[in-house]
Amino acid sequence: MTNLTSWLYVDLDIIADNIKAIKEYIGPVKLLAVVKADAYGHGIFPVASCAVENGADYLGVSSVEEGIFLRKKGIIAPVLIFNTILPEQAEDVVNFNLTSTICSIESVKAVDEAAKKCGKKARVHLKIDTGMGRFGILPKDAVEFTAKIYSGFNNIYLEGLYTHFSLASNEGNTRKQFNLFSSLINELKKKGIEIPLKHACNSTALLNYKDMHLDMVRSGNLVYGMCPTSKIKTKNPSQLYSKIVFLKTLPKGHHVGYGNKFTTKKTTTIAIIPFGYYEGLGLTVHQPSNAVDVLKYLLKHLLTALGIRKQDRIVTIKGVKCNILGKISMQNSIIDVTDIRDKVSIGDVAELNARRINISSSVARVYHKENRIFTE
């Protein structure tokens, strides 16, 4: 680790503790650990292995490629692909024993034909769109669709039925979706159709609505300590670091960074770290949801531009919070270390704040597990 300039440190022991805490909270209900998007930037294989070792019953990924990668790395636990698949991917799904999400008769046919060709029975989960407006069959079409699967496709095992809440923090909205889903389950039961794994809850929902746990819950944010709550003790398992590679002092009135967006107001000592927007720093996407949100966003940036409000882009060096100055470059950032100029040296480590999911795969992941440090 000492010869790296930038790295994401991931404590797998904390992820293990998070998994155990979730399992204890949900009791006998199965847990699907979400490891899509490279395990939210933490590294899909080490996290998937850790999750399974510590009690996760299922793993969730977005793509066929992610599922195949896990299989090639030796993961044998059930893996659900959340996105619907292309017909030409069906054979790979069956060959690698992945569970596909089905939302159309075309995908059902493709998986059924691939399973027949391979001499297997393919596991699938049917997704119901109760309000998310993304993947899924609408509830009004679901009974007929499910009956078709049962009667017309002998090479498919309909293992699961699930939905996804669009605003799990809002109980009214969530209960409306859950009631639609529950009604469908009851309709299917009346027709003699029992599906083993019914699941609806994400991290927020599994915390707030225990009556909605059904047969399995899906958790991503809680696994990565990203869902603060007093109900389950989970922690952030990771921290991003970069080393100072250059130091110098600039005079008052000197421009800093591209576009001359910042000018020093006094003699300023700067440190440069080799970490920029390519690596994932400063890529937070703001999506205002209403007029008040838009106004708050604009006011915040106006006050920052006028120098009335300090930028909230900070790093921590020697325990001191320091501002990033000017525009973040592609692979560099300029840090104001004036207040600690007598304590800082080249090679000192800066702690950075960035969304883990945005961190480039080019940044090394360094793992801690049971007193062992390793890279993947």
* Residues involved in catalysis: 36, 258
- Cβ proximity of 112 and 79 under 8 Å: no
Query: In this structure, how many other beta carbons lie within 10 angstroms of the beta carbon of residue 120?
Result: 14
**DSSP structural state of residue 222:** T
What residue type is 267 in one-letter code? Answer: T
Alpha helices in 191-263 (DSSP H): 203-208
Phi then psi dihedrals of residue 296, to 5 deg? -60, -45
Reduced to 3 DSSP states, what percent helix, strand and coil does the chain have, rounded to the nearest 5?
Answer: 35, 25, 40
Alpha helices in the chain (DSSP H): 12-26, 36-40, 44-53, 64-72, 90-95, 105-118, 139-152, 171-190, 203-208, 291-305
Q: Which region holds residue 310: left if phi is over 0, alpha if psi is between -120 and 50, else beta? A: beta
What residue type is 20 in one-letter code? Answer: K
- Cβ proximity of 136 and 128 under 8 Å: yes
- Cβ proximity of 234 and 21 under 8 Å: yes
d(CA 114, CA 88): 9
Query: In this structure, how many other beta carbons lie within 10 angstroms of the beta carbon of residue 327?
Result: 17
- Cβ proximity of 117 and 149 under 8 Å: no
d(CA 85, CA 64): 7
Three-state DSSP state, 211: helix
